[in-house]
Amino acid sequence: MTQPFTPPGPQPALLLAIDIGNTNTVLGIYRGLDLLDHLRIESRRNSTADEYSALVHLLLHQRGFAFSDLEQAVIGSVVPPLTSVFEEVCRRGIGKPPVLVGPGVKTGMPILVDNPKEVGADRIVNAIAAYECYKKGCIVVDFGTATTFDVVNGKGQYLGGVIVPGIGISADALFARAAKLPRVEIVRPPQVIGKSTLQAIQSGLVFGYVALVEGLVQRLQVALAEPCAVVATGGLAPLIAGETQCIDSVSEFLTLDGLRMVYERNRDDAAERAKTGRDHPPERLVLRRGEPDHG
């Protein structure tokens, strides 16, 4: 097994960033600012910490890493049943409680919504990563199980956003409710005007979704009323971004990068908690409406 290249001299400790989504869980291994590798596994709500510990151990070994190489972990989760499971995986493998994105964690970004507790961890870390990249207003489009549009102004304040059904679950609903329509692969058809039922469905899914994205982005830009960058992430981001001029860039690992940034802003607190053994309550997002979070 080829080991990850390590340049000579002292190296920053390795960080495991874990993005728990409704469909998949993505794990990123960072050394400092560099994403060395990533793993993608299915989010199975009924799996135990024993099962995930064994799976993550195996996958790390296949990539030339071990739990003993990792100094700390950070978790962002939108699947509550799996949050505690992966917390236990980190405690067992790394020997320390992870930083958990939620109430109490320093984000550096005011959350200007009616109830900040309702905002998913993935949306917050996406907003943080996009704003740190552009340092101006941003609209982040995350193509996941649901597609989310999140808006940050030029002051680095999270303003809220839009949630719509993802392409995959939209297609599933169509196939489930229309008995004569065949299930198709979500790919770009040869042309907008479908010459077959299959092509017509693909055109509706792909170009219809492109039109949805363009329309919502235009409305959000008008509402924001300031220059902004439009950043896309998620599995189908390259497909949609390739069909529209409204998306400025695609960042495959935007969520992982945002998790790394949140960890860095809470590094000292995490170290103190690991030293004292105090890991309850876990660190989470500060939720004072309209105020910067100071932990």
CA angle 46, 85, 34 (to 5 degrees): 120
Say how far apart CA 203 and CA 83 lie, in whole Å.
37
Largest CA distance in the chain: 66
Q: In the block, which residue shows the tokens 């680095």?
A: 156
CB 209 within 8 A of CB 169: no
The amino acid at 18: I
Say how far apart CA 83 and CA 121 lie, in whole Å.
11
Q: Roughly what angle, to the nearest 10 degrees, separates helices 121-134 and 254-265?
A: 90
Tokens at 245, concatenated: 């001029």
Say how far apart CA 66 and CA 61 lie, in whole Å.
6
Which residues are identified as catalytic? Answer: 122
Query: What are the C-alpha distances in Å from 277 to residues 52, 71, 272?
Result: 23, 15, 8
Cα radius of gyration rounded to whole Å, the chain: 20
Strand segments (E) across the chain: 14-20, 24-31, 34-42, 70-77, 99-100, 137-143, 146-152, 158-165, 228-234, 249-250
CB 159 within 8 A of CB 116: no
